[in-house]
Amino acid sequence: MVLWRLPKLKAAPLETKKVTTDMASPDKPVATKLPSPCVSICQMDPQDGVCLGCYRTRAEIAAWRSMDQDDQLALLNILRDRRATATGVARRPSRRNVKRLSI
């Protein structure tokens, strides 16, 4: 079995810039991207073709930075299902999509 180990890279600090365009208000910040789901256990399973740490495929790993936030959230839901299937541990409900009541 061949296991690939990717080099560890230093994470860049998250930037929260305000971007203004013709359609955006200068006071409204643009949504920031989510951090990568990588857990620094970079080993690809030769049978499934998914990482044993984050459960992403090579294509999903490569595309993460170019995805918008909605696509990243959708992929995180898929990854939770993959992890639950692989480990047999039922997935916990996500709190990202829960609407909170303002009091």
Q: What's the predicted TM-score (pTM) here?
A: 0.59
- Coil, strand or helix: which one is 44? strand
The CA-atom distances, in angstroms, between 18 and each of 4, 13, 44, 65 are 38, 16, 37, 19
Task: Output the pLDDT for position 90.
Answer: 76
Convert the pLDDT of each residue in 9-54 to its tens digit: 555 554 544 444 444 545 544 556 789 999 999 999 999 899 999 9
Residue pair 80/90 in contact by the 8 Å Cβ criterion: no
